[in-house]
Amino acid sequence: MTDERSPAVEARQLVKRYGTVTAVDGVSFQARRGEIFGFLGANGAGKTTTLRMLCGLLRPTSGTALIDGIDIVAQPLPAKAKLGYLDEEPFVHPHLTGREFLDFVADLYGMARGPQREERKARLLNLFDLAQKDGELIGSYSHGMRQKIGLASLLIREPSVLLLDEPTNGLDPRSARLVKDLLEELAARGTTVLLSTHILEVAQALCRRVAIIDRGRIVAIGSMDELRVQTGSEGANLEDLFLKLTAGPESREMIERLLEGGS
* 167 part of the interface to ligand ATP, by CB under 6 A: no
Using H for helix, E for strand and C for coil, what is the string for the chain? CCCCCCCCEEEEEEEEEECCEEEEEEEEEEECCCCEEEEEECCCCCHHHHHHHHCCCCCCCEEEEEECCEECCCCHHHHHHCEEEECCCCCCCCCCEHHHHHHHHHHHCCCCCCHHHHHHHHHHHHHCCCHHHCCCEHHHCCHHHHHHHHHHHHHCCCCCEEEEECCCCCCCHHHHHHHHHHHHHHHHCCCEEEEEECCHHHHHHHCCEEEEEECCEEEEEECHHHHHHHHCCCCCCHHHHHHHHCCCCCHHHHHHHHHHHHC
* 49 part of the interface to ligand ATP, by CB under 6 A: yes
* 43 part of the interface to ligand ATP, by CB under 6 A: yes
Single residue of 2, 13, 32, 44 touching ligand ATP by CB under 6 A:
44
Rounded CA-CA distance 165/198 in Å is 10
Segment lying near ligand ATP (by CB under 6 A), choices 37-45, 89-97, 133-141, 167-175: 37-45
Segment lying near ligand ATP (by CB under 6 A), choices 47-55, 118-126, 223-231, 239-247: 47-55
Rounded CA-CA distance 196/259 in Å is 34
Single residue of 37, 48, 103, 157 touching ligand ATP by CB under 6 A:
48
Residue count, binding to ligand ATP (CB under 6 A)? 13
Please say which residue, 103 or 166, places its beta carbon nearer to ligand ATP: 166
* 17 part of the interface to ligand ATP, by CB under 6 A: no
* 187 part of the interface to ligand ATP, by CB under 6 A: no
**CA end-to-end span of the chain, whole Å?**
65
Single residue of 14, 45, 154, 212 touching ligand ATP by CB under 6 A:
45
Single residue of 29, 36, 40, 41 touching ligand ATP by CB under 6 A:
41
Q: What is the footprint of ligand ATP within residues 79-98 (CB under 6 A)?
A: 88
Rounded CA-CA distance 168/180 in Å is 8
Single residue of 47, 80, 148, 209 touching ligand ATP by CB under 6 A:
47
We find the least distance from the C-beta atom of residue 164 to ligand ATP, in angstroms, to be 13
CA 112 vs CA 101, 149, 156: distances in Å: 16, 20, 12
Please say which residue, 34 or 170, places its beta carbon nearer to ligand ATP: 170
* 20 part of the interface to ligand ATP, by CB under 6 A: no
Single residue of 9, 14, 23, 66 touching ligand ATP by CB under 6 A:
23
* 14 part of the interface to ligand ATP, by CB under 6 A: no
* 248 part of the interface to ligand ATP, by CB under 6 A: no
Q: In the complex, which residues of this chain contact ligand ATP (CB under 6 A)?
A: 18, 21, 23, 41, 43-49, 88, 198
